[in-house]
Structure 1
Amino acid sequence: MGLVCEEKIKSWESVEAKEVPSDKATKTTIRWIFGPNEVPNFYMRVFEVEPGGEIFEHSHPWEHEIFVLKGEALIRINGKEYKVKEGDAIYIPPCSKHYYKNIGNETLRFLCLIPKEGK
């Protein structure tokens, strides 16, 4: 995709929530707010994890940045555990093993930004 010189504005709720496959997560949906064929460099996604749900440990060769919009979670990065909550920002380096679990009583919602190589 070449240079995009046109702004894009949309409501995150207008984007279809899709279940994350059961071999990758439980009780989790993803919305591709800005994805492939829409923007040239970074993709924006919103994940929602129901109480007790988790995203299984995985790694990949790209970084990503997380911003917690709602709820609280246990995040494990390369074996180290962190409790995070609404308003927290997390940087996950490339090739790091990482895992998420909703440890709260409400839906965990977070924004996740990845480079285009991440799709």
Structure 2
Amino acid sequence: MSEPTYYAPEGGLPSQTTLLTDRAIVKEAYTVIPRGVLRDIVTSNLPGWNHTRSWIIAKPIAGFATTFAQYIVEVSPGGGSDRPEPESGVESVLFLLTGALNVVIDGEKHALTPGGYAYLPAGADWSVTNDSDAPATFTWVRKAYEPLEGHAPKAFAVQEQDIEPTPMPDTNGAWATTRFVDPDDLAHDMHVNIVTFEPGAVIPFAETHVMEHGIYVLEGKAVYRLNDDWVEVQAGDFMWLRAFCPQACYAGGPGKFRYLLYKDVNRQIKLT
């Protein structure tokens, strides 16, 4: 069984002879940010962080996806933050793509390697440092937590490699989901999972549902159905889907197609 791989951008700039045509798409129902646009000149500094740069790939925008923000963060050796989260009501998931990262949560240190996953509930006391001699890159999902009486999520850190994927029904394991929290745990109002397709596997219907999605491709390539379009995607691409955007895919091979998937879950729809 091959070890999983996790694509991370390296920045830089294309040469002056490079064609401008790329796969970037922005439509009412979805956005595709291909890895080729994650360059040095579109990075942002984050207040409270040192020796760090970020690509902000999703944020709430009126009339489009509204529930979350997502970043790709590159922390240089010696970099990090003692106060990474400026908003007390915001929860986070960190997923390490490359390098090594130390995350301290409420005084407990967790050493993450590629595939490391940390859930930080709203109000948690946490910090991040890169104590290695190489850059560390992670994707960071942030969401305003919706409290639910009698339920409170707890912080944790794990490695993806230690969790057995759950095969989807009637797929013989060709489509599987690595779940980091129990889907029935109402304390969690978002899920950030890893979805894996074997070569040639498919989502066999056009999913059309209330959950928004942020999809960061970790490995492989596929043809993805987004609303009424078929779009080619590969490792390092990001897709941003509003609620009720029809979606499906064919995994292209020759290896696995894998992505990190955000969705909002487990809360009543607010009408007032």
> What TM-score comes out, normalization by structure 2 length?
0.39
Aligned residues: 116
Of 217, 239, 255, which aligns to 1:90? Answer: 239
Cα deviations across residues 62-86 of structure 1 (Å, max 9, x unaligned)?
Answer: 1111000000011011121110000
Identify unmatched segments of 5+ residues in structure 1. Answer: none
Tell me which amino acid in the other structure corresponds to 1:31: T
Q: Which one has the largest radius of gyration?
A: 2
Paired residues of 2:197 and 2:256 also in contact (CA < 8 A): yes
Distance 1:26 1:82, change over 3 A: farther
Match of 1:13 in 2: 161
State the alpha-carbon separation in 1 of the partners of residues 242 and 203 from structure 2.
Answer: 17
Secondary structure in structure 2 of the residue aligned to 1:105 = coil
Counterpart Cα distance in 1 of 2:189 and 2:254: 35
Structure 1 residue runs of 4+, over 4 Å off?
A: none
Residues 90-109 of structure 1 mapped to structure 2, 5 A cutoff:
90-109=239-258
Verify the 8 A CA contact 2:214 2:239 in the aligned structure 1.
yes
Amino acid at match of 2:161: E
Deviation by residue 1:23-75 (Cα, 9 ceiling, x = unmatched): 7x971111112344386331111111000001122211111110000000110
Query: 1:26–1:54: 8 Å Cα contact kept in structure 2?
Result: no
Name the structure 2 match of 1:40: 188
Higher relative contact order (Cα pairs below 8 Å, separated by 6+ residues): 1
Extract unaligned runs of 5+ from structure 2.
Answer: 1-147, 268-272
- RMSD over aligned CA atoms reads 2.3
Whole-Å separation in 2 of the counterparts to 1:107 and 1:8: 27
Q: CA–CA distance in 2 between the matches of 1:31 and 1:39? A: 19
Q: Does residue 181 of structure 2 align to residue 27 of structure 1?
A: no
The structure with more strand, counted as a fraction of residues: 1
Give the secondary structure class of the aligned counterpart of 2:188: coil
Cα distance change on mapping 1:112 and 1:39 into 2, 3 Å = farther
Contact 2:219–2:235 (CA under 8 A) maintained in structure 1: yes
Give, as a single letter, the amino acid of the residue that structure 2 aligns with 1:20: M
Whole-angstrom distance in 1 between the partners of 2:173 and 2:248: 12
Matched-pair contact (CA < 8 Å) for 1:64–1:92: yes
Q: For 1:100, give the aligned amino acid.
A: C
Which whole-Å CA distance do the structure 2 matches of 1:26 and 1:101 have between them? 15
